[in-house]
Chains A and B, each alone.
Chain A
C-alpha cells in the first residue's frame, strides 16, 4: 500500500533550467520519469535542488508537445503534418530557393541556450558551413552579451572568474542586479549559508528583493538605485575607493596596466562621481555609497555576483566593465572567495556564448575575420567560410523588414515573446518566406513559421551543458525522444538535406569535433566527463581536469595584465516624462522560468498563475488604484494589461513585473534601446504610465490573448472568448 513505488533505474544528468546547472539523478520506471533527486556529486549543487529542477520536469510529457513535423506554404494556412523526410526536403528546397533568389546572406539562424553545446555548435556549423554566411546569433544577445564584451575588455575572459563553491570563502558578497534566491535558488542557498556564517552582503538593486531581506539573510547595505543608474553608482563606489585610498596598489602594479589605472582613477575620482552628486541622481543616500565602497574594499575577500540588472541596459557593457574595474582596483581577483561572476539565466547560456554562436566570432571568441582561425575550421569542415561577420539577431529582423532577409532556422527560441519590441519582430517575421522553428512546443514565434521541427527536451538527449561557472557537465538521455530524434540529429539531417554530407555516430563525436576547434574545450570529452563528473573550462593539456578559479597568475590578455576601462556615465535616452512618469523594471520569480514554456506546463503555476505589477502605495493612491485592479501599463512603445499589487519592495516612482506569461506581453512595453556595444536590449528601464482599465477595454484585452495557445489553464478563457 502506501509504500512508494521504487524506481528501477537512475540516470545522472544535469538540470536544464538556470545557469547553476545542478546535477540530478533522473529515476525511472520503464520510459517514465518517476522522480528527480539532486545528485550529491553535482559540483554546483552538492545534493541540493530547487522547485524547478526537483519537481518541474513533467513538461516533457505534456500533451502540447509537438510530436510530428509540420509544414505550411503560408502562415495563414493551417499546419500540415508530414514525415521527417518531407519536412527536411521542404525546408531545404525553400532555403535553396530563397538563397538563389535573394542571395546567400538572406538566411540565418539562432541557436538556443536550452540546447546542448553539441547542438549549439552544430547550428553554428549549419549556418557557416551549409548556409555559407555568418548570420548566426544566440539568445545571450538579449541577456549576457555585455558580460562577454565587458569582462573580456578588462580581464580578458568573458566568464565567471570563480567556481560557485568559492563563495564559501568570501567575506563580502556584493550582488548587483540579481536576485539569486529567486533566479538561481541553489546558489542563493549557498550564498545565504555563507551570510549566516557572518559574511557581509551588499545589494545593488532598485527593488528590495528577497535577497535583500529574508530570514537570516539581510543586506548590510542596500543601494536601491533608480533603474538606469548602475554605471553612476559603480563609478561612485570607485570614487570613494580612489579618494579614500582603499585600492590595492601592489596588486594593480603587479597584475594590471598601471597607466590605465591612473586614467581610470582620474575619471572616477573626479567630483562628478562624488557620492553626493551621484546619490542625488540615483536616489541613494551618499553615506550608503561610502559604506558599500568601504565594505567592498576592505574584504579581505570580496566577491561580485551580478545578473541581467547589470547587462540589460543601454550601458550594459559599461556596467560590466565597472565591475571588472572595481575588482581589479581592490585586488579582488586570482584567489578563492573573490572575483566577478555573472549569474547566467539559462542552463547553457555560457555554452551558447563560448561556442561561436555569434555573427562575428567562432568558438572561443575568435574573430571570423581572422584567416588563421577560419582556415582551421575550413580544414575540419571542408568548405570555404565567409570572412564577413554576419547579422546580429535584431539586425536580422531589421533586414527582414527592408526585404533583405527571408529565412531563418530558430532552434529552441521564442523571439516573439522574449525579444524586445514584440510588434517589430512580428512584422519582421511576417515578411520572411521560410521560418523554421525547431521546438518542443508550438510557441508565439511558431505562429509565424512555415516549418515546425519537433524538438527534444534535455531529458531526451545526450550532450553537454556549460553552466555559469564554466562547468561542462554531461546531459544524458533519460527517456526516448518523443518525436524520434534528438535535436542534434535533426540539425545534422537538415545539413544533409541541403547537400552537406556529415555523420556522427553519437553526440560525443560532436563534442570531439568541437574540442578540436575550441582551445578552452580542447580536453573535453564524454570519457573525461564520465570519469571526473564535470570540468570547468579551460580544460586542456595544462589543466586536464579543468580550472576552478581563473586569473590566478595572469589575465588572458596579450600582456597578461588586467586593465581599466573608462566608464563614463551616459544616462539612457529612456527618461520619465509627464506622460510616462514611472520607471518599469523587470525580474523573475522562483517558481517560473523565463517565458514559462516549460514551467507553465507544470503544477508550478499554482504559485505564480500570472505576472503582476508591483507598485508603491503612494503611486497607487494618486492613481486611485487598489491591489487586484487590472491596469494598463503604457510606454512610448506599446501597452499591456496586468494586475497591480501594492508592494513595499519598490520605491515610489518605480514599478516592477515578471515576464513569465505570454499574456502579460511585458516586451510589448519595453523600449527598442539597447546596449551600445552589443545590442543587448534595455529591458530594465522603461518609462511608463499606469492607469486603471476601463470596463470596455477589458473585453478587448481578452480577445488579444485569444491566440491558439493550447495550455490547459487557458482553456476556460479561450472558450469564453469563442462563445463571445
Chain B
C-alpha cells in the first residue's frame, strides 16, 4: 500500500490501483509494456496507450469485475477475461480489440442502457457516456422492460442526490465508502434485478452514517450520485 495511493495521477485512470512489485513485461496489441508485478492487465493496457472501455473499474478502488465491459483476449487463454481482475504475467500477449470483443462489449452496454433513462443517453458527460462513445454505441435494441425509472430520487443530503434510475449498480460508491473513506455507510441491498445501492439500513443518505465526504459521488460513473450544484434550478426527471 504505497503506490496504490501515491501512484494515482490526475487525468489518468489506470482502472486498477498502481502496484509496487518487480517489473513484469508483456505485450498489449503487439506493443511491449513493463509494469509492476501484481498490476492488472487493465493497467497494462493504459500504460501501453491501448486502454479498454470500463465501467466498474477505477484506479482508486480495488478491481471488482462486475461490469464485464473491459473484456480482452489473452493468447493461450480461453474466453474473454475481464482485464481489471486479471493480473499480468511475464510474456502475456493481450489483445484489446477484435470484432468479437466489440460485439461482446456492445451487447453488455446495451443491457445497461435498457435500464437507463432514454432521454439521458445523449448529451451526457459522465464516464458511462464516455464509455458509450469509446465502443460506438448510441442506443439499444430492447423495448421497455422492467426498469428503475420510477424509483424515488434521494435528495436528502443538501449537497448531492442519488437517482436510482441512472444507477448501474457497479458498487463503485459502496467500495469508495469502504476503501477510500472507511465509513462503510453504503451497501448493495437485494439480489439480481432488485439489487440497489442503500445507505445505512436502507435509509435516506442524510439519516445514515454517511459523512458526506463525497467519495461515492466522485466514484460514480453514471451521474446517479451527483452534486446538486450542477442543477441550478433543482433536479427534475424528464
Contact = CB atoms under 8 A, between A and B. Distances in A.
Interface of A: 1-6, 25, 34-35, 37-41, 43, 46-51, 54-55, 165, 168-169, 185-186, 188-190, 192-194, 196-197, 214-217, 590-591, 603, 606-607
A43 B1 CA distance: 15
Q: Which 9 A-B pairs have the closest CB atoms?
A: A4-B230, A603-B158, A192-B182, A54-B214, A55-B159, A51-B212, A41-B10, A40-B10, A1-B238
Given A41-B9, A46-B5, A48-B181, A35 B235 contact: no
B60 interface: yes
A5 B5 contact: no
Given A40-B9, A215-B184, 4 more contacts: A35-B229, A38-B214, A49-B215, A189-B182
Interface in B200-238: 206, 209, 211-215, 218, 223, 226-227, 229-232, 235-238
Contacts of A192: 182
Contact of B180 (A43, A189, A214, A606): A189
B104 interface: no
B226 A4 contact: yes
Contact of B183 (A35, A47, A55, A215): A215
Contact of B227 (A4, A186, A607): A4
A186 B213 CA distance: 9
Contacts of B10: 25, 39-41, 47
Interface centre among B209, B218, B230 (most CB of A within 10 A): B230
B213 A189 contact: yes
Contact of B223 (A3, A46, A169, A590): A3
Interface centre among A46, A192, A591 (most CB of B within 10 A): A46
Contacts of A50: 211, 213-214
Contacts of A590: 211
Contacts of A193: 1, 179, 182
Contacts of B33: none
Contacts of B238: 1-2
Contact of A48 (B2, B120, B213, B231): B213
Contacts of A197: 1
Contact of B213 (A34, A49, A169, A606): A49
A48 B182 CA distance: 11
B211 A51 contact: yes
Interface size on B, as a range, is: 35 or more
B6 interface: yes
Contacts of A591: 212
Contacts of B226: 4
12 contacts: A2-B120, A3-B125, A3-B223, A5-B232, A38-B214, A40-B8, A40-B11, A51-B214, A54-B213, A55-B214, A168-B2, A215-B182
Nearest to B219: A47
A25 B11 CA distance: 12
A459 B229 CA distance: 17
Given A2-B235, A35-B229, A196 B214 contact: no
Interface string B2-21: 10011011110000000000
Contacts of A190: 5
A188 B180 CA distance: 11
Chief secondary structure at chain B's binding surface: loop
A48 B183 contact: no
A343 B169 CA distance: 37
A115 to B, nearest CB: 26
A38 B218 contact: yes
A25 B214 CA distance: 14
B229 A169 contact: no
Interface in B159-217: 159-160, 163, 179-184, 206, 209, 211-215
B213 A51 contact: yes
Given A3-B223, A49-B213, A51-B212, A168 B5 contact: yes
B124 interface: yes
Nearest to B179: A193
A34 B228 CA distance: 9
Contact of A47 (B123, B125, B206, B218): B218
B98 to A, nearest CB: 32
A46 B5 CA distance: 6
B119 interface: yes
A3 B222 CA distance: 10
A606 B218 CA distance: 22
Nearest to B159: A55
A361 B83 CA distance: 58
A188 B179 CA distance: 13
A603 B123 CA distance: 30
Given A2-B237, A48-B181, A168 B218 contact: no
A202 B36 CA distance: 34
B237 A1 contact: yes
A45 to B, nearest CB: 10
Contacts of A217: 182
B236 A1 contact: yes
A9 B60 CA distance: 24
A143 B237 CA distance: 49
A3 B163 contact: no
A521 to B, nearest CB: 24
Nearest to A43: B6
B182 A196 contact: yes
Contacts of A41: 8-10
Nearest to A190: B5
B236 A2 contact: yes
A590 B124 CA distance: 33
A647 B89 CA distance: 54
A49 B119 CA distance: 32
A605 to B, nearest CB: 9
Contacts of A189: 180-182, 213
Contacts of B117: 2
Given A1-B237, A55-B214, A603 B5 contact: no
Interface string B82-106: 0000000000000000000000000
Contact of A37 (B5, B209, B218, B236): B218
A603 B159 contact: yes
A1 B180 contact: no
Nearest to A168: B1
A540 to B, nearest CB: 23
A9 B120 CA distance: 23
Contacts of B6: 43, 46, 165
Interface centre among B125, B211, B213 (most CB of A within 10 A): B213
Given A46-B5, A189-B181, A197-B1, A5 B231 contact: yes
Nearest to B223: A4
A626 to B, nearest CB: 23
Given A35-B229, A48-B215, A55-B212, A1 B2 contact: no
Interface centre among B124, B159, B232 (most CB of A within 10 A): B159
B131 to A, nearest CB: 16
A299 B179 CA distance: 25
A41 B11 CA distance: 9
A285 B21 CA distance: 44
Nearest to B124: A3
Contacts of A55: 158-160, 212, 214, 227
A486 B43 CA distance: 43
Interface centre among B218, B226, B237 (most CB of A within 10 A): B218
A591 B238 CA distance: 33
Contacts of A39: 10
Contact of B230 (A5, A40, A43, A47): A5
Interface in B118-163: 119-120, 123-125, 158-160, 163
A50 B206 CA distance: 15
A214 B182 CA distance: 9
Given A46-B8, A47-B218, A2 B163 contact: yes
Interface centre among A35, A48, A591, A607 (most CB of B within 10 A): A48
Contact of A34 (B123, B211, B212, B230): B230
B229 A34 contact: yes
A34 B226 CA distance: 12
A190 B119 CA distance: 40
